[in-house]
Structure 1
Amino acid sequence: MNKLFLTEQFNDSISGVAYKTIQQKKRLLAYFAEHGPTAIGDLRQALHLSVPKVTALLNELMDEQFVKDYGKDNSTGGRPPNLYGLAAESAYFLGVDVHRTFVHIALTDFQKNIVEIKEYVPYTLANTRESLSALCQLIEGFISQLQTPREKIMGAGINLTGRVNSATGYSYSFFHFQDQPLSQIIGDEIGIPVVVENDSRAMAYGEFAAGVVERERNVLFLNLDYGIGMGMVLDGQLYYGKSGYSGEAGHMPVFDNNIICQCGKKGCLETEASGWALLERFKTRVRNGATTQLVQNPEHLEDIDLEAIIQAAQSDDVLAIELIAEIGEQLGRGIAALINVFNPELVVLGGSLAATGDYIRLPLLSALNKYSLSLVSNDTELKVSDLGNRAGVLGACLLVQHKFLSTTD
């Protein structure tokens, strides 16, 4: 199989007719990826190409084994046309969703099906060369046990928290040790082209492409974990901002307090509406005498983490439920401001705190009604992530597929 044209975007020497043909092939594959098997007549109209040109491109793509003939379309009247679409096994995409203490890693085929996935693989994220080396080894270990040939893996998408510029390949929050882009460093290590992306943006794309989003074109995705991240889909496209750092909703100055945020400033949304805030409130309440099934011995209080509090709430722990409701109310103030500014069709709650369901959603909705403009919020729906903990890793796979099929014309 020839995967040359999918990676020719990195070859500046390609020009003229050859370059135009590559772009047309990508447009054709991208259409199949979005719409599924399609007849030549419909492809001609959608791509504004002649029937002979579409036929020639399809024949080349079938020779290269990226496209296959799905047979007659029996849903139409008259003489049914043949349908053409992606050959699922012709290309694969790797996704790596990096968290503080674990990694999700998956492989999808050309039709967006998950072929292999490993979740909660132990890993410690730290801004050290050792942590970067461990991540590369983890990815290499996953690839080595696949039955899929390495040469069929077209690219890898790697999600990291913090400031990531996916256009340049640099991460400025983690692993910024040398002049080379992080995408190039990891790509050279694993032998596969790499795209690095902010974790919240990848989660947003996962929900948009394969999750709870239906026909909505303007969507805000809130990643509710220890911090608060946001991915924005505006008019059907991921929004990056000028420098690629959009979505820092957690650092909006919402509160008049003296709590120092992780970013070093005061009053950020994260100081009172994040997983970090929940953890600190929980510990403070227990120290002040509150009871909880989670802590029998106060000496073990420092061992409690966010996941433990979420599990306690799901087991009907009164203190955990009460504090999550407080977090939800404060979070609603921040989301109300975002709704007033962006007027989205849909807000999606994802990340670990979203797993608490109505415990956080109902007080959040109450705050939205209180703080947002009714004319705006009435047009905004609120949903919880459909993909759950797979939103990021699936988003990474689908984003890298989308980027490798992107065209410049």
Structure 2
Amino acid sequence: MNLQSTFFEELKNEDVGGVAYKNLSLKKKILDYFANIGNATITDLSKALTTSTPKINNLILELIEAGLVEDFGKVESSVGRRPNMYGLSPDSVFFIGVEVKKNYVNIGLINFQKDLVKTTKDIPYALGNHPSSLESLCEIINHFIKNLHIDTKKILGLGINLSGRIDYKTGHSYSYFHFNEQPLTQVIQEKTNIPTFLENDSRAMAYGEFTCGIVQEEKNVLFVNIDHGIGLGMMIEGELYYGKSGFSGEFGHIPLYNNEILCHCGKKGCLETEASGKALLQVFKQKVKNGATSIVTQNHKKLEDIKLEDIIQAANNDDILSIELIAQIGEKLGKGIALLINLFNPELVILGGILSSTGDYIYLPIKSAINKYSLSKVSNDTELKISQLGDNAGILGACLLVRNKLLN
């Protein structure tokens, strides 16, 4: 019998009441403390949870028996008896995170203590709003699971990041794979046999960075995901912000431009139409078509074969055309970020997503535009940094959001 899985099944049992419910609730709080604060002694937990030490001790013993908690032995103490330190048993349970991009998939596995156990990145994939694309995604996930050297019963959840409008509460995606009334999470769960959760990609990346990345003591942080589109994840007063319907963060669809470029959202003039990876790709192809030279065309004779990743790689290899166009994108994006800074007055703005991997080529034009367009008294209190986690942000965020859902 898998005691870990049994315990989490008990947590979801709505029929539990009385003392049993109270004990389960306290166990959940203990696990949450270990997960988000760290290892602790019985005394630490008793104070934090305002519960008697004998009660905490009994619950810890039950969690050890279930295989979820470990006794790490005595800790140093200057006076009295040395207490024992307890914490999560790292390999008792696992979580999978899947980051779905336009041309590839990143997928990873973390243990209970949020250590990345295994990752597979840049798996070729074509994201499209049709059944064959969904089928291909499920095949990628199942292949990853098949090659894991762990008991799959210990995998308690699967988190999937998709761009666009996501209802994380119901599991519906309204931008991709919305073929019928059945939630997308249910469709994927039936194909993988693992409880599945869905999240907007920018929000999941933001959460990964907030919890494991560059964020330290800051409580009000914006994470700008610069990819084919532009997304935004927000932490307000230390909490991930969803908005009323869970659709917050549509930064790329702010109508900043008076142009006739039709955005994929159906509107014209969106920030994405001139300041995104998709816009960069379109302008780049037009420049090459008009006679501009680039090292990208050495490997791609046909314009339709050029991908955003090719332009980024070229920029990082000192390709002049790629660098110049990225700078133009950065200047336009910086104007939009200046608007956000004026609105939110954040402590920190983090640049993430594939375009952030160009470093100063995107950072410096954005920084310059922020200085130009934002109110100095507001922006002076805001730091601008590039994501510390890079392409691990989405994987970690997806996994940890699933872990949180189970513990909360």
If the length of structure 1 is used for normalisation, what is the TM-score? 0.96
Q: Distance in 1 between matches of 2:141 and 2:366?
A: 38
**Counterpart contact for 2:7–2:66, Cα < 8 Å:** no
Match of 2:296 among 282, 289, 294: 294
| Residues 116-167 of structure 1 deviation map (CA, whole Å, 9 limit, x = unaligned) | 2111122222112222222222212211221111111111111111111111
| Residues 6-46 of structure 1 deviation map (CA, whole Å, 9 limit, x = unaligned) | 23454332233222222211111011011221111111111
Alignment of 1:113-128 (within 5 A): 113-128=115-130
**Counterpart contact for 1:321–1:359, Cα < 8 Å:** yes
How far is the alpha carbon of 1:307 from its aligned partner? 0.8
1:224 paired residue number: 226
Amino acid in the other structure paired with 2:137:
L
More deviation in 227-236 or 281-290?
281-290
2:136 paired residue number: 134
1:194 paired residue number: 196
1:204 paired residue number: 206
More deviation in 128-137 or 333-342?
128-137
1:340 paired residue number: 342
Q: Distance in 1 between matches of 2:78 and 2:190?
A: 49
**Residues 17, 276 of structure 1: CA spacing in aligned structure 2 closer, same or farther, 3 A cutoff?**
same
**Counterpart contact for 2:349–2:384, Cα < 8 Å:** yes
2:368 paired residue number: 366
How far is the alpha carbon of 1:238 from its aligned partner? 1.2
Q: Secondary structure at the match of 1:48?
A: coil
Amino acid in the other structure paired with 1:344:
P
More deviation in 77-86 or 10-19?
10-19
Match of 1:404 among 391, 403, 406: 406
2:64 paired residue number: 62
1:262 paired residue number: 264
More deviation in 42-51 or 11-20?
11-20
How far is the alpha carbon of 1:296 from its aligned partner? 5.2
Match of 2:307 among 305, 330, 336: 305
Q: Secondary structure at the match of 1:282?
A: helix
Q: Distance in 2 between matches of 1:337 and 1:362?
A: 17
**Residues 129, 10 of structure 1: CA spacing in aligned structure 2 closer, same or farther, 3 A cutoff?**
farther
**Counterpart contact for 1:6–1:26, Cα < 8 Å:** no
How far is the alpha carbon of 1:298 from its aligned partner? 9.4
**Counterpart contact for 2:138–2:191, Cα < 8 Å:** yes
Q: Secondary structure at the match of 1:121?
A: strand
1:110 paired residue number: 112
| Residues 74-99 of structure 1 deviation map (CA, whole Å, 9 limit, x = unaligned) | 16554321110000011111111111
Match of 1:245 among 244, 247, 250: 247
Query: Could you tell me the percent identity over the aligned residues?
Result: 57
1:387 paired residue number: 389
**Counterpart contact for 1:106–1:114, Cα < 8 Å:** yes
**Residues 35, 75 of structure 1: CA spacing in aligned structure 2 closer, same or farther, 3 A cutoff?**
farther
**Residues 52, 233 of structure 1: CA spacing in aligned structure 2 closer, same or farther, 3 A cutoff?**
same
Q: Distance in 2 between matches of 1:126 and 1:293?
A: 29
Amino acid in the other structure paired with 1:173:
S
**Counterpart contact for 1:287–1:298, Cα < 8 Å:** no
How far is the alpha carbon of 1:59 from its aligned partner? 0.9
Amino acid in the other structure paired with 1:100:
K
**Counterpart contact for 1:7–1:404, Cα < 8 Å:** no
Amino acid in the other structure paired with 2:397:
G
**Counterpart contact for 1:339–1:372, Cα < 8 Å:** yes
**Counterpart contact for 2:347–2:383, Cα < 8 Å:** yes
Amino acid in the other structure paired with 1:30:
D
| Residues 335-383 of structure 1 deviation map (CA, whole Å, 9 limit, x = unaligned) | 0111111111111111110011101111111110111111111111111
Amino acid in the other structure paired with 1:26:
K
**Counterpart contact for 2:300–2:306, Cα < 8 Å:** no
**Counterpart contact for 2:142–2:192, Cα < 8 Å:** yes
How far is the alpha carbon of 1:297 from its aligned partner? 9.7
Structure 2's unaligned 5+ residue stretches are none
**Counterpart contact for 1:93–1:109, Cα < 8 Å:** yes
Amino acid in the other structure paired with 2:43:
G
Match of 2:32 among 30, 46, 50: 30
**Counterpart contact for 1:163–1:171, Cα < 8 Å:** yes
Give me the CA root mean square deviation: 1.6
Q: Distance in 2 between matches of 1:404 and 1:10?
A: 8
1:317 paired residue number: 319
If the length of structure 2 is used for normalisation, what is the TM-score? 0.96
More deviation in 306-315 or 288-297?
288-297
1:331 paired residue number: 333
Q: Distance in 2 between matches of 1:298 and 1:186?
A: 36
Q: Distance in 2 between matches of 1:23 and 1:128?
A: 42
1:146 paired residue number: 148
